[in-house]
Amino acid sequence: MISKKQKQIINYKFNGALIIKGEENTGKTTTAINRAIYLKDNYCLYENDNILVIVDSYEEKKNALEIYNRSDDLQESISLFSYIKHSLDIKTINEIFEEIQLNLHFKIASEKIKYNILEKSIDKYKKERKRAKILNKCYIEFLLKEFEYIKSNRINSIDEYKNFTRRGRKSKEVNAPKSLPKNSSIRDCIYKLMDIYYESLFREKYIDEVVMEEEMLKYIQNSPYQRYNHLIIDNLNNFSKLQFSIIKGFINRKEYSNIVVTLNPKGKKVENSLGIQGIKIKELFLDVNKIKTYILKEKFEKDIFLDKKEVLKVKDKEEVMESYKFLDIRHNLDFEFSIDTTSEDEFILDPNGSGEIIHDDELVSIPIYNDIAAGEPIMINDTCEGTVSLPQYWLKGAKDSFILKVKGDSMINADINDKDFVIIRKQYNANNNDIVAVDLDGSATLKRLSIKEDKILLVPENNKYDPIEVKDENAMIIGKAIGIIKRND
């Protein structure tokens, strides 16, 4: 039967953008289609309310239709609006584009025509940029692909292109430059050549496939084309940013509208797709008030219903994340979290529960420095070895914080072990019984501060170590420990 996690997503009372992430065979499509049925029964409030499901191939359409037909028969929920019949359309992206193109009247240039026009454009631009090595006819295939890349990513100015993080470029292309550095003359040259090329193409009354997509977007935005109250987009990572903009144009946004998308961080690499670019969820949904992300990790034999009794059969579980625990010393709280290394180190809170993603604007970056001794003091190294991002509310009131890796076992009775990471709030004084990082003549140690009437001690939390008495001004407090990060094995 459907897992508890899937049911939670399917029946979630929510309007906005709902993101379902997971690898292949984790039940994303099954969950999304069942979510569509739930929306049809509960969030299509008027007779003309409807739902569009978009998939990236005919094979995926067949799979989605099979899930839908079996799932719809099994649905037992009856809502206030069940008597109203609503449409739920399942279409491939190519079917949608073919429908729109029937309303457009442009000639698509053949490969031969594109080659010829680009050759002439190169000859024309060479007169101005004689030393530009990229203006070579051996690069024509690369240049045409680069023009498609620029437009597929909706890069609309030369400055934007020169500063754009260029991902997904295949170095094994036979005739391609070795690199395209940011703010370089080669990028400047490519973009200006592109303008010349498209001006020439339009003058000959032709467009190419990616410009056709731009025309589709204009048409959708400015025409009374059919709209849908809810959109379900399967495998969004296979679509380009331009294609996603076209798809979003189909939404007839109401207070109860939903956009549901599935993502596979390890999916196939489609040229110019969002999956290659590295998907930034908040950038895709800047116009949506609420975003909720779920992670599916259990793997199933098939992403369809097997029969009416046994819906999904667990195949295996594969962890694709680094799992940690955060111990909040100040408030005596602990949190489980994971770093999803397959999607640009996304921060996932409660990965075995709600699987909520904490987005960049809710995180704060903390520098990591060299080891600190939970044992004999070791030399301080002030070289930053990297950063880690944590939720802002975990560090409220602790702006000047940094992280040190623990080395040794002198604090094990305080649950601070070798290879743990301790979060230190920078301060130069502390109270009795605080766990502090201390500089002892250029060496650092982590101990509990004990202030007596006649002496000050740095006390270990392990009986095999003796306290260190602070007798003179050779010791300075670096900061106070406020949290511990432990790796879950």
| Catalytic residue IDs | 410, 447
Cα 92 → chain centroid: 24
Q: Label residues 58-86 b or e (16+ Cβ within 10 Å = b).
A: eebbebbeebbebbeeeeeeeeebeeeeb
Helix (H, G, I), strand (E, B) or coil at 182: coil
For 36, the token pair is 């569509």
Measured in whole angstroms, the distance separating CA 377 from the mean position of its chain's CA atoms is 41
Secondary structure of residue 266 in the 3-state scheme: coil
* Residue entry with tokens 């704060």: 364
Outline where 333-480 has alpha helix (H).
none
CA distance 42 to 395: 40
**DSSP per position, 409-445:** STTGGGT--TT-EEEEEE-S---TT-EEEEEETTEEE
Measured CA to CA in angstroms, residue 46 lies from 3, 213, 471 at distances of: 31, 32, 79
CA 292 to chain centre: 12
- Quote the tokens at residue 58: 């005919």
The one-letter amino acid at 361: D
Write out the two tokens for 243. 């294609």
Bridge partners of 445?
Answer: 373, 438
